[in-house]
Structure 1
């Protein structure tokens, strides 16, 4: 895309809360668990540690455990990491929940619906075309088509006609991108 287009409008995507986990509850058919209050459980068995992140079902409130470390030597964990687990560090809760290896290990996916907001500069009436630079302040996976529709209030068909973009509109991304909005017909 040409960089000489004017103006360049900044948009920012921000996480508003932690996502829900798409994780089956053993007590109810809801299929979603919330993070709860972000507590870790550390259990020592001799020189071995187990670390879990506790989560609660959004529907029934049942507490479940996500395995973070299983039977790891006490000395194998960095002191600051172990301190974060024992003090329930909010940033460590976030990092743990968003870690793809934890999701794979515990067989859950993240449900990002309603977890992000778009700070979008308004599009001026003139001059055309307009270039929009989208920056992700948090790694929130979102479809560009959905994000553009939210920011501009355009239908999918109008987005297809008026938006020039170098990435797929219907494939989720969490990386910065830009697009060009051309003048409406008429």
Structure 2
């Protein structure tokens, strides 16, 4: 590497909207669902509480439920969370959707296509090399190769020649990383 100091450019990956859910509809067999308005359903049976997030099929608009809490004693649920469930808090909807444990338990994945944006200043014409620091505001899984191509407007072949990076270019990541553009 060069001994010259690098110019450090900050790039930020930000979620623009909630992702769709890859979840099979029982009526039309479509594979995508949306949270729509982000509504919770809370049901109390005695001192036990059930909480679901309602999602709708994007094709037929059939409503399905994502289990958030199942038969949990009311005293174990944080009162602030409970108030958020009753108030259909949009921040709580995002928190539930992005929780990997809830996704695994309910067997859905998130479809991040067209749900994110890259905030990146244009690279300077000179001097080279330039170090770019990529920061993820939300856990958007992206291939670094795609992100770099979009941010710099260069081809994958040129990325292989001009980019020095410590992580695999073709494996998805949602963790912060940095690279050097030669």
TM-score (structure 2 length as normaliser):
0.95
**Residue of structure 1 in register with 2:169 after alignment:** 169
Give runs of aligned pairs for residues 46-125 of structure 1, distance below 5 A. 46-125=46-125
CA contact (8 A) 1:145 1:159 kept: yes
Q: What RMSD over aligned residues (CA atoms) do the two structures have, in Å?
A: 1.4
2:44 and 2:171 mapped to 1: Cα distance?
43
1:174 Cα deviation from its structure 2 partner: 1.2
1:5 and 1:143 mapped to 2: Cα distance?
27
1:9 Cα deviation from its structure 2 partner: 1.1
SS at match of 2:36: coil
**Residue of structure 2 in register with 1:17 after alignment:** 17
1:154 Cα deviation from its structure 2 partner: 1.1
> 1:7-64, CA deviations, whole angstroms, 9 ceiling, x for partnerless residues?
1111111000111100001111320001111000001111111100000111111110
CA contact (8 A) 1:22 1:110 kept: yes
**Residue of structure 2 in register with 1:28 after alignment:** 28
**Pair 128,33 (structure 1): closer, same or farther in 2 beyond 3 Å:** same
1:173 Cα deviation from its structure 2 partner: 1.1
Gap runs ≥5 in structure 1: none
1:74 and 1:136 mapped to 2: Cα distance?
35
Gap runs ≥5 in structure 2: none
SS at match of 1:35: strand
TM-score (structure 1 length as normaliser):
0.93
2:34 and 2:134 mapped to 1: Cα distance?
29
Q: Structure 1: which 4+ aligned runs deviate by more than 6 Å?
A: none
Q: Number of paired residues? A: 182
2:15 and 2:5 mapped to 1: Cα distance?
29
SS at match of 1:113: coil
